[in-house]
Amino acid sequence: MIQFEQTFMNFLFHHQEKFNRTYHFLILMDAVISAAKHIQHYYLTGALKGNLGLAGEVNIQGEEVMRMDQIAHEIVIHYLKTSERVIHAVSEEEELIIPLEEKRGRYFFYFDPLDGSANVSHGLPVGFLFGIAKKNLKGTEDGHLRAGNDYIAAGMFVIPTGTFTLALREAGAWRFHVDETMNFVKPIRMILPDDTRSWELSFNEANRYTFDEKIQNWIAGNENKYSFRYLGALAGDFHRLLSNGGMFMYPAIINHPNPKKNRPQGKLRLMYEAAVVSFMCREAGGHAVDETGSPILNKKPDQPHQRTALYVGSKKLVDDIAGVLQG
Ligand code: AFP
């Protein structure tokens, strides 16, 4: 017997129909899926085609750009254009906000086309992360730098693993797997598990003694209770977290022996990393806070590439650390 699974687009059509929504979001998501498939293809064959190396440029964040970063960015922008639904996009790869369909567009799209560069030269998992906000259709438009609470959807592809997770506002976080026809299929609703036995902690252990002492003490008091996993690519680490529960954190770096390497603002980018996973986490029953213990989703960015510290995961753990951060 052939086993058939529901496709992502079929799932989404039914979702839009059930909630009486327009077709515009469908057109946008179709473009996003096409982009992800293209990125996946280039990444899989990247080692053979010489695409997993450096591009020879430094980006606005002062980081060396990988060839794949550029390819992935180009692919996403191409498909966003063809959707004709996006007013502005913010990409990790471009300093300025990218104007697309300013008059007829309906959405704002914030994305990191290939997150986790340290994994690229090894062909190991990276992510394509995105958040989507919608134009204010009723009142005056307040611009395009939206807080995560204003997103209507957020998602991530783990590349080249072939998994896709999409969270829809007040409608849950859903995981799909790629099938033999390169379709994303079989929606599975993701809910963070209550059972603490599977919970994991995920952070860069090498940074541990650069964190605020309160955080170092919290780690010392909790590290023996949970397993520890760290891939170094947010999409992969967050993918595990959604299944197993626990907490991913990238705290502010304030005690580095070389003060120039301190990152009091945190490392992760708010609009297309922290807010994206925080939105997904909320839809899976979890929570996320910044270095002040305040919800990430309430943070309205002042500029597109703003950074933040991030603590995201099972509500109990995040509430616990928020208490420490506020104490
Ligand atoms: P890059 O894409 O610039 O390498 O950053 C990846 C990332 O923003 C995120 O995906 C990881 O969780 C985090 O950085 C890893 O940072 P460390 O290498 O400092 O642990």
Instruction: Compute CA distances 287 → 192, 197, 306, whole Å.
Output: 10, 19, 20
pLDDT tens-digit profile of 202-261? 999 999 999 999 999 999 999 999 999 999 999 999 999 999 999 999 999 999 999 999
Instruction: Compute CA distances 251 → 167, 177, 209, 281, whole Å.
Output: 24, 31, 11, 18
Comparing 264 with 21, the larger pLDDT belongs to 264
> What is the reported pLDDT for 297?
98
pLDDT tens-digit profile of 49-104? 887 888 777 776 777 778 899 999 999 999 999 999 999 999 999 999 999 998 88
Point out the ligand 1 atom lying closest to the alpha carbon of residue 235.
10
**Measured from the CB, is residue 93 less than 6 Å from ligand 1?**
no
Query: Residue 23 corresponds to which tokens in the numbers above?
Result: 């077709």
> What is the reported pLDDT for 294?
98
Alpha-carbon distance of 161 to 178, in angstroms, equals: 9
**Closest CA to ligand 1's atom 1:** 116
The answer on pLDDT for 18 being more than 70 is yes
The answer on pLDDT for 318 being more than 80 is yes
Point out the ligand 1 atom lying closest to the alpha carbon of residue 61.
3
Query: What's the gap in Å between 273 CA and the centre of ligand 1?
Result: 10
**Measured from the CB, is residue 133 less than 6 Å from ligand 1?**
no
Q: Is 20 left (phi over 0), alpha (psi -120 to 50) or beta?
A: left
| Domains of the chain, each with CATH number or no CATH | 8-190 (3.30.540.10), 196-326 (3.40.190.80)
**Closest CA to ligand 1's atom 8:** 268
**Measured from the CB, is residue 229 less than 6 Å from ligand 1?**
no
> What is the reported pLDDT for 32?
98
> What is the reported pLDDT for 101?
94
pLDDT tens-digit profile of 124-158? 999 999 999 999 877 666 667 899 999 999 999 99
Pocket test for ligand 1, best of 65, 73, 115 (most atoms within 8 A of CB): 115
Residue 64: count of CB within 10 angstroms of its CB? 12
**Measured from the CB, is residue 233 less than 6 Å from ligand 1?**
yes
> What is the reported pLDDT for 67?
87
Point out the ligand 1 atom lying closest to the alpha carbon of residue 115.
2
Query: What's the gap in Å between 179 CA and the centre of ligand 1?
Result: 28
Query: What's the gap in Å between 160 CA and the centre of ligand 1?
Result: 17
**Closest CA to ligand 1's atom 18:** 232
Q: Which residues contact 3 (CB under 8 A, 6 or more apart)?
A: none
> For 278, how many CA atoms within 13 A lie in the half-sphere containing its CB?
30
Asked whether the beta carbons of 47 and 58 are under 8 A apart, the reply is no
Query: What's the gap in Å between 125 CA and the centre of ligand 1?
Result: 12
Q: Which residues contact 260 (CB under 8 A, 6 or more apart)?
A: none
pLDDT tens-digit profile of 95-121? 999 999 988 899 999 999 999 988 998
**Closest CA to ligand 1's atom 12:** 234
Point out the ligand 1 atom lying closest to the alpha carbon of residue 127.
10
Alpha-carbon distance of 119 to 158, in angstroms, equals: 12
**Measured from the CB, is residue 285 less than 6 Å from ligand 1?**
no
**Measured from the CB, is residue 165 less than 6 Å from ligand 1?**
no
**Measured from the CB, is residue 232 less than 6 Å from ligand 1?**
yes
